[in-house]
Homo-oligomer: A and B are copies of this chain.
Amino acid sequence: MASGVTAQTGQRRKRLNFDERRQEFIAAAIEFFAEEGFESSTRELARRLGVTQPLLYRYFPSKEDLIGEVYETVYVNRWRDDWDAMIADRSLPLRERLIDFYDSYTDVVFRRDWMRIFLFSGLKGVDINRRYLGRVRERILDPIVRECRHADGLDDLTPLPQEVEYAWVMHGGIYYYGVRKLIYEGGTLDRKRFVIETSVDAFRAQLSTLRDGTSPIRW
């Protein structure tokens, strides 16, 4: 088949420069590996792209390098830098901030490709998942706990370990809603708003009782 003509449609395609073409391949790789797993073949990926398999090796030295680009694009590029500000903007009520943040955050992660890539790479034991979760803790959960402490009139904003652990539980509860709907049930996210509001409210209420020691467990 001639170049500049896609395999599937036979349509003429504009010739892209190296970087654009590379990005096109990465985008297709995300979709492909998210659905089929990283063990799927470069031949099948090339077939879906309408090119031959050796062409991929013109743009990426190895399959593992291509997968690395997939990680980078999904985990790093989709992270939104305004999340910090959303959480910390004290001109708004804390409840509103947390709900707005999780609305925005789940717009990013409640996507089939994001979740499946995350699950696949986590099972491979790649270090990037650990790094991502470290970032969640530092830039999301710690700040949330700090804002809660501030809203509750505490002077020392330093998060207690049990506060962070419980923030993980709230976070996980919301996240697992997405996993269940998108990965297991294949359904819609029409109760996302309810889940976020309920989780945030329950978290805030429980966090105080956790702190002032009325909870039966202390560390």
Contact = CB atoms under 8 A, between A and B. Distances in A.
A177 B184 contact: no
A182 B171 CA distance: 17
The 3 tightest CB contacts between A and B, nearest first, are A172-B176, A173-B173, A202-B206
Contact of A119 (B123, B203, B217): B123
Nearest to A199: B169
A78 interface: no
Contacts of A31: none
Interface in A166-188: 166, 168-177, 179-180, 183-185
Chain copies in the assembly? 2
* Count class of interface residues, chain A: 35 or more
A193 B206 CA distance: 16
Nearest to A183: B122
A168 B194 CA distance: 12
A116 interface: yes
Contacts of A113: none
A176 B183 contact: no
A185 to B, nearest CB: 7
Contacts of A130: 184-185
Interface in A185-210: 185, 191, 193-195, 197-199, 201-203, 205-206, 209-210
